[in-house]
Amino acid sequence: MSIEQALEWIHSRLKFNIRPGLNRVSALLELLGNPEESLSMIHIAGTNGKGSTVAFTRSIFMQAGLKVASFTSPFITTFGERMSINAQPIPDEKLIYYVKMIQPLVEQLDNDAELTGITEFEIITAMAFKYFADEKVDLAVIEVGLGGLLDSTNVIRPVVSGITTIGLDHIDILGSTIEEIAAQKAGIIKAGIPVVVGNIELKALRVIWEVARKNTARIYQYPYDYRTELKEHEHFDFFAGQEAILDLEKSLIGLHQVENAGMAIELALVYANKVGINLNEEIIRAGIREAFWPARMEKLGENPLILLDGAHNVHAMNRLLENLGKEFPDKKITIIFSAITTKDIRQMIKMLQTVKNSRLILTTFDYPKALDLKDFRYLEDEGVELAPSWELAIVRAQKALDEDELLLITGSLYFSSQVREFLKKEK
């Protein structure tokens, strides 16, 4: 079996789309010997900030000398990065090995009327747990795929859980109000297991508090149990109880990354305290400084400056606009944007139209749910340019920009993945 054939089989399960529920993944894990039960884990949910928080948390424990696994989605560079150990994607030969192992088990489940139709995400969730268990990792940092309560990853019993942010996203599946979405995210809270909570509005917090109370789960809440203070040049101070770490330097650009880094530090401290690991200030500083996460205000060119940011929903777009206003208030900006149809595309475009000194280009890309430019022709009357080829739009924008201008490419993480590969090859 080649890696292309292995991935083709995994992707073939996309036909079952998203099917919330834990019975299928639980059945598959049982056939694999329940590898998740041998893992020490941190579980992270939230509308935005999950990936960056995973990256900071992983980096801290790698600096502490642990063998750290991470399960994330979607991938930006290669499919294997979804299940990584010490930030290295699963090797192709290992991926093939686990596909061969899991294929007959999936066929077995497909013969059961109640368990048939196991999805791509359920398969890779089980595969990741088996891979991490076989490799005997010290810690696995697990990112929720969608929601929390009924997400495939919610079969685990972690040492500590985290909820980064709550915003209106995936409303067709998770609910149309902040409270309904908060209830889904809070579904990862388990009896007696502490939960670290990020900068979340009161309506959503009330839901999380109630779920935590019912589960007698201790909450570590921003900005009461821990907090961050922004300093010059995006450096920041971190405070938690009697702990204070001053003038931290983070690797990821963007003011919102201060909150993500702060939450990662608190998650790391709570986890370390529970399992008996000593995390000193030097380890934490190095972890925050060395973390890497692609397509989050990632610099892909200079003179002119090229930034790639996967602002894939309204909440993330708000954060992006905050960053632009504070970091580049006077720069002339060309924005290339694309998204998928499950997102509030019109609202995100309206937000981008408010950016001062900007030129906005709307494009599409090769993905089943990518936007159709025909639906947005009305925007041409508002000064938005439509570009059928995003590659050509990028090349033309680069040529048209002066050295002191900014090219920002943003929107869907699936779009960001393709753009990143293209720009790396072009360079």
CB 199, CB 234: distance < 8 Å: no
With residue 7 as reference, give the H or E element that holds it: helix 3-12
pLDDT for the residue 16: 75
Per-residue pLDDT tens over the stretch 232-258: 888 999 999 888 999 999 999 888 899
List, edge to edge, every strand of the sheet that includes 68-71: 88-89, 83-85, 68-71, 139-143, 41-45, 160-163, 195-197, 219-221
Phi-psi label, residue 336: left if phi above 0, alpha if psi -120 to 50, beta otherwise: beta
Q: What number of CA atoms fall less than 13 Å from residue 297's CA on the CB side?
A: 20
The whole-number average pLDDT for the span 164-190 is 86
Strand partners, 299: 307
Q: From the centroid of its chain, how far is CA 277?
A: 26
Number of continuous H segments (helices) and E segments (strands) in the chain: 14, 17
How many angstroms separate the Cα of 292 from the Cα of each of 16, 191, 216, 289, 377? Answer: 33, 33, 35, 9, 38
Residue 426 has pLDDT above 80, yes or no: no
The answer, yes or no, to whether residue 39 has pLDDT greater than 90, is: yes
CATH of 3-290, one of 3.40.1190.10, 1.10.10.10, 1.20.58.2240, 3.40.1390.20: 3.40.1190.10
Q: What is the pLDDT of residues 334-349, one digit of tens each?
A: 999 999 998 899 999 9
Give the model's confidence band at 21: pLDDT under 50 very low, under 70 low, under 90 confident, else very high: confident
Q: In the prediction, which pLDDT does 175 show?
A: 73
- Asked, colleague to colleague, whether 3-290 and 298-426 share their fold, the answer is no
Map tokens 């579980």 to a residue: 43
Q: What is the pLDDT of residue 74?
A: 87
Is pTM beyond 0.85? Reply is yes
Helices (H), 149-227: 171-174, 178-185, 202-214
pLDDT over 90 percentage in the chain? 83
How far, in Å, CA of 78 to CA of 89, rounded? 8
* pLDDT mean across residues, the chain: 94
Model confidence pLDDT, tens digit, residues 373-402: 999 999 999 999 999 999 999 999 999 999
Instruction: Assess whether pLDDT exceeds 70 at residue 427.
Output: no
Q: Domain limits of the chain? A: 3-290, 298-426
Residue 273 in this model has a pLDDT that exceeds 70 = yes
- Residue 215 predicted with pLDDT over 90: yes
Neighbours of 192 (CB within 10 A): 9
Q: Is the pLDDT assigned to residue 82 strictly greater than 90?
A: yes
Per-residue pLDDT for 17 more than 80?
no
For position 356, what pLDDT does the model report? Answer: 92
Per residue in 107-138, pLDDT tens? 999 999 999 999 999 999 999 999 999 999 99
Fold (topology level) of 298-426: Protein-Tyrosine Phosphatase; Chain A (3.90.190)
pLDDT confidence of residue 172:
67
